[in-house]
């Protein structure tokens, strides 16, 4: 009587451990946040949070982005304000901008999820060619510090003289 119960409990434990293992939906044990087609899962706000969480930023910039009152604000990018953030208009599913509440320095990070079938390379080239490095009037970034990258259907534009490279690397690491 004890042996069948122990056997059943052992099987149940085995199934529980297997079902709860930390592999992604595609069997990737790293738990990477991509779908089978290379697109990032989750909404843009979640993706933005992961970028800020994992980027290798200096202490001053990290404390700035964590300051709720004077740090960064998030703005939805729409078809009406798209040109303000990218210098061009194009079709996309959703967009999110992250920029300082007050402009002590030039900084902007935009994320967009493009529509299925969009020519991502053309969109990236158009953004890179039209992003305005002096959009803040009194301050600007060096044009070499404009980063336009994509992971699947999410395109990121970051303009920053201090943190652009680290944020770009953190975004690309989400693959």
Is 122 within a domain? yes
Is 27 part of a structural domain of the chain? Answer: no
Is residue 15 in a domain?
Answer: no
Q: Which residues 6+ apart lie within 8 Å of 54 measured at CB?
A: 170, 173
28 assigned to some structural domain? no
Whether residue 126 lies inside any domain: the answer is yes
pLDDT band at 122 (very low <50, low <70, confident <90, very high): very high
93: closest CA among 53, 74, 72, 120? 120
pLDDT digits (tens, 9 = 90+) for 138-157: 889 999 999 999 999 999 99
Tokens of 60: 């001053």
The span from the CA of 97 to the CA of 99, in Å, is: 6
Higher pLDDT, 13 or 175: 175
User: What proportion of the chain, given as a percentage, has pLDDT over 90?
Assistant: 62
Residue 90 lies in a domain: yes
Do the domain assignments include residue 39? Answer: yes
Quote the pTM value: 0.77
Tell which wins on pLDDT, 51 or 61: 51
Within 8 A by CB and 6+ apart from 113, the residues are 44, 92, 93, 94, 95, 153, 154
| Distance in angstroms (rounded) separating the CA atoms of residues 158 and 152 | 17
Report how far apart, in Å, the C-alpha atoms of 19 and of each of 24, 34, 41 are.
11, 20, 21
| DSSP 8-state code for residue 155 | E
Q: Please count the structural domains in the chain.
A: 1
pLDDT of residue 69: 63
Range of the domain at 151: 33-172
- Across residues 78-93, what is the average pLDDT? 95
* 26: in domain: no
């Amino acid at each position: 009587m004890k042996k069948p119960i122990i056997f059943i409990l052992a099987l149940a434990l085995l199934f529980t451990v297997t079902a709860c293992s930390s592999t992604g939906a595609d069997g990737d044990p790293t738990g990477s946040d991509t779908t089978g087609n290379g697109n990032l899962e989750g909404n843009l706000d979640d993706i933005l949070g992961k970028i800020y969480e994992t980027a290798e930023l200096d202490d001053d910039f990290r404390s700035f982005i964590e300051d709720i009152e004077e740090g960064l604000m998030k703005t939805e990018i729409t078809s009406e304000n798209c040109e303000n953030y990218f210098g061009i208009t194009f079709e996309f599913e959703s967009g999110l901008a992250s920029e300082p509440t007050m402009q002590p320095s030039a900084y902007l990070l935009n994320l967009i999820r493009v529509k299925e079938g969009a020519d991502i390379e053309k969109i990236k080239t158009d953004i890179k060619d039209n992003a305005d490095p002096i959009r803040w009037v009194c301050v600007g970034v060096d044009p070499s510090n404009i980063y336009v990258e994509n992971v699947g259907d999410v395109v990121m534009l970051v303009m920053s003289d201090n943190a652009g490279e680290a944020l770009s690397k953190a975004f690309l690491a989400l693959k």
